[in-house]
Amino acid sequence: MSAAAAYERSFREAIAAGKQPDALRRYCTDEVERFWSRTNPGPDGHVYWVGGESFVTNEGRHTQPRRWAWKRRHGANLSKFVSVLPACGEANCVAPAHLVVEARRHAPRRFTDDMAIGTAQVFAMRHGHPPGMKMWRSNPDLRPSTATVRHRFGSWDNFLRAAGLDPAKVPSRAVRFRWTDDDLIAAVRAGVAELGYVPSGNEWHRRFDAREDLPSLKTLTRRVGDGSWLVVLERAGLS
């Protein structure tokens, strides 16, 4: 059975059983079940999404719910220049049979280079030093993303120079010894609870290393993992 056929079957079985969100497991490794646990079946074949603005895949990617549903049903990737819309007219409907793909015009840049430069300059005035990439990533008010900045300017240092700032004045992230071993184990459990599933070491690194409230992968594996992420999970009771 193909992945698309298996997905379609699981979807139909869930709807036929009339399962509500509290009847499914919202936090599990099965991505399909996790997605449909955030929906409510409605009349006329409608299935309403109630899980927020985006859905987090097992790879840690945030995706628009209708795009996820369409891609899983058809087993194909979508161009960023198309939208997935509910042909039924119900804004929150994610029923696969109700979704259609529609081309859209290429959206203009949301943030111009001048806007990005201005944001860096304002940050420097407020904090007394230029922003580093980790500082930028950890602050949701700073846009565009660090990846976009590096793509447009060639490097983070080039971006700071374009803003009239000295890259050498970016403060290094201070080495902190505030984490006890118990703190580290508790932080791992908190991160897993936030995600709703147990991530790989690489995913922990991508999602949490820039966070000030959670330890980095390197700190965890060095302090409580004997160099191994699996040992970290075992000590946290998550393996």
**pLDDT attached to residue 104:** 64
In a domain, 90, yes or no: yes
Digits of tens for pLDDT over the chain (239 positions)? 555 566 556 666 766 776 654 455 666 678 888 888 888 888 888 889 888 888 888 888 888 899 998 888 887 777 777 888 888 888 889 988 888 888 765 555 577 888 899 999 988 888 888 888 878 877 777 888 888 888 889 889 999 999 999 988 887 644 444 678 888 999 899 889 988 999 999 999 888 876 667 888 888 998 898 889 999 999 999 87
> Which contacts of 152-156 are long-range, i.e. CB under 8 A and separated by 24 or more positions?
152/113, 152/116, 153/113, 156/132
pTM, two decimals, is: 0.38
Express each pLDDT in 14-26 by its tens digit: 667 766 544 556 6
In a domain, 93, yes or no: yes
Mean of per-residue pLDDT scores for the chain:
81
Same domain, 145 and 117: yes
Note down the domain range covering 133.
113-169
Residue 126: half-sphere exposure toward Cβ, Cα within 13 Å = 7
Q: How far is CA 174 from the centre of its chain?
A: 26
124, 149, 169: which is the final residue of a domain? 169
What residues contact residue 225 under an 8 Å CB cut-off, 6+ apart? 231, 232, 235
Q: How far is CA 149 from CA 111, 124, 133, 140, 173, in A?
A: 10, 16, 10, 15, 20
Express each pLDDT in 155-200 by its tens digit: 899 999 999 999 888 876 444 446 788 889 998 998 899 889 999 9
* Dist. CA 199–CA 144, nearest whole Å: 26
* Dist. CA 47–CA 96, nearest whole Å: 9
In a domain, 58, yes or no: yes
* Dist. CA 215–CA 8, nearest whole Å: 40
Q: Which residue has the tokens 């201070």?
A: 174
Same domain, 10 and 98: yes
In a domain, 175, yes or no: no
